[in-house]
Structure 1
Amino acid sequence: MAGKLYAVGVGPGDPELITIKAVKTIKNADCIACPKSHGEPGTAYKIAKEAVPDISSKELLLLEFPMRKTDLIDAHKKAAEQVIHFLSSGKKVVFLTLGDPEFYSTFYYVASIIKEQGYEIEIVSGITSFSATAARLELPLSLGDESVMITSGKFCEFEGTLVILKAGSKLKEIKEKAATYNKNVYMIENCGMPDEKVYYDLHSIPDEAGYFSLMIVR
């Protein structure tokens, strides 16, 4: 009998934000797959381990995804082959992702290859980084009939609320453009993590920050 692949979103950083369904799915898994960082399990695994300590008793499959986009196609194929090795023996594999698997997740590149081979896939949603950031700021993302736009590292002129993910390396450019509009700008770096930093106005936001930096403009 073939195994099944689960994508499990562990939320943005705070282990207490992992859903009950995510915890149950992790506990029932035979194998945990996750990206590795410097040879060790990445951030998603560390978050999951705090919420589900017995995850360390599961078989661990560390997947390598290089930062250069030109190398990613081969990396996705290799990762899919590694996951299929476990699925072909009937094992339940959980692929951990930060936030929610539906937003900028590496999972779907790998899953598309695996799905073509006829394996079953299930998605377990996680709390998104922008939902957690808005809650931390006690800020509504939208009210009434307001619209919300989500971008990746890009400022756009927009009438409603603008959410900018992956803003860290482009902050200087984003700040320059945002300054020309009469809107409030907020940012959180590493939301829910021990080294979280919160900024409540445009002038306090630095020109550079880490990868997990999210801006809200409204």
Structure 2
Amino acid sequence: MDGTFYGVGVGPGDPELLTLKAVRIIQECDVVALAVSDKAFQEPVYDREGASQELCGYLQRCVAYQIVLPVIPELAGKKKLFLPMPMIKEKEKLRQIHDACADAAEQIIRQGKNVAFITLGDPAIYSTCLYVHKRLAAKGIRTCLIPGIPSFCAAAARMNVGLAENREELHIIPASYGVEESLGLNGTKVLMKAGAKMPDVKQAVAARKMEIHMVENCGMPGEQIYERAEDIPDDAGYYSLMIIKE
């Protein structure tokens, strides 16, 4: 009998925001899948015996893994599937990589093992685990998404502001693809992973004289909060999230 693929959201950074269900699924799974964004890492690796020095380096840099480890110390001893998820935009190359990741997960699941792909925030929102989830589901493999607290909900709570009230609209926008047009939308705009385009985003927001709240590394070490566009550094990190109101 085949196993199950779980896409498990581990929340935005604070281990206390892990859900009880996420903890249970991770504890019970046979294999934990982890995304590796290093462009030099090209092929999936199934580590059954204990990570090599190179793979240990990936574990140390994997934010989702480091969130879970203090809550589930036995995670360190679980079998792990390292999946390449490079931050590139070549569609054909990405398709090939995602196909290979799904194939590697399928081989394990067909052996009757359950695989939990742990991912930041919620697996349904801009998550790399969806690339694997969709391919496996298309092959008839049982898949299940375990929701996690989204980063923008945690950021709003951290800054003590609401996201939307009454009939106000809420727009979730991937900031790395440009935001000029999106800033014209009515209601609250959430710009996710804004770090790479920060100078452009700051300029666009300042030109429109909009109210801004930003958290960098919400719930993680090095967390920073900004309430004015001019105070935000141009080199803000990848995990920078903005909440913008009219």
Judge same fold: TM > 0.5, yes or no. Answer: yes
The CA RMSD measured in Å over matched residues stands at 1.3
Aligned counterpart, 2:46: none
Which range is displaced more, 118-127 or 42-51?
Answer: 42-51
Task: Report runs of 4+ in structure 1 exceeding 3 Å deviation.
Answer: none
Structure 2 CA distance for aligned equivalents of residues 146 and 202 of structure 1: 23
Q: C-alpha deviations, 1:46-75, integer Å up to 9, x for none? A: 111122111112111111122222231111
State the match for 1:172 in structure 2. 199
- TM-score norm. by structure 1 comes to 0.95
Amino acid at match of 2:161: L
In the alignment, which residue of structure 1 is the partner of 2:226? Answer: 199
Supply the distance in 2 between the matched residues of 1:147 and 1:6 (Cα, whole angstroms). Answer: 31
Is the 8 Å Cα contact of residues 188 and 213 (structure 1) preserved in structure 2?
A: yes
Identity of aligned residues (%): 40
Q: Which residue of 1 aligns with 2:19?
A: 19
1:118-129 paired onto structure 2 within 5 Å: 118-129=140-151
The answer as to 2:4 corresponding to 1:4 is: yes
Gapped runs of 5+ residues in structure 1? none
Deviates more, 1:121-130 or 1:39-48: 39-48
Q: Which segment drifts farther, 155-164 or 183-192?
A: 155-164
* 1:186 match: 213
CA distance in 2 between counterparts of 1:187 and 1:180 reads 17
Matched, 1:86 2:86: no
**Unmatched segments (≥5 aa) in structure 2:** 39-54
User: What does the per-residue CA deviation read over 1:188-213, in whole Å, with 9 as the maximum and x for residues that have no partner?
Assistant: 11110011111111121112211111
The equivalent of 1:47 in structure 2 is: 67
Quote the offset at 1:37 in angstroms.
5.1
What is the DSSP-based 3-state SS (H/G/I as helix, E as strand, rest coil) of the residue aligned with 2:69?
helix
The equivalent residue for 2:51 is none
Asked if 2 retains the 8 angstrom alpha-carbon contact of 1:189 and 1:196, the reply is yes
| Contact map agreement 2:37 2:87 (CA 8 A) in 1 | no
Contact 2:154–2:218, Cα closer than 8 Å, also in 1: yes
Question: Which of 69, 73, 97 is the matching residue for 1:75?
Answer: 97
Aligned pairs, number: 218
- Taking structure 2 as the reference length, the TM-score comes to 0.85
- 1:181 positional shift: 2.5
Q: Which amino acid aligns with 1:105?
A: S
More off after superposition, 38-47 vs 189-198? 38-47
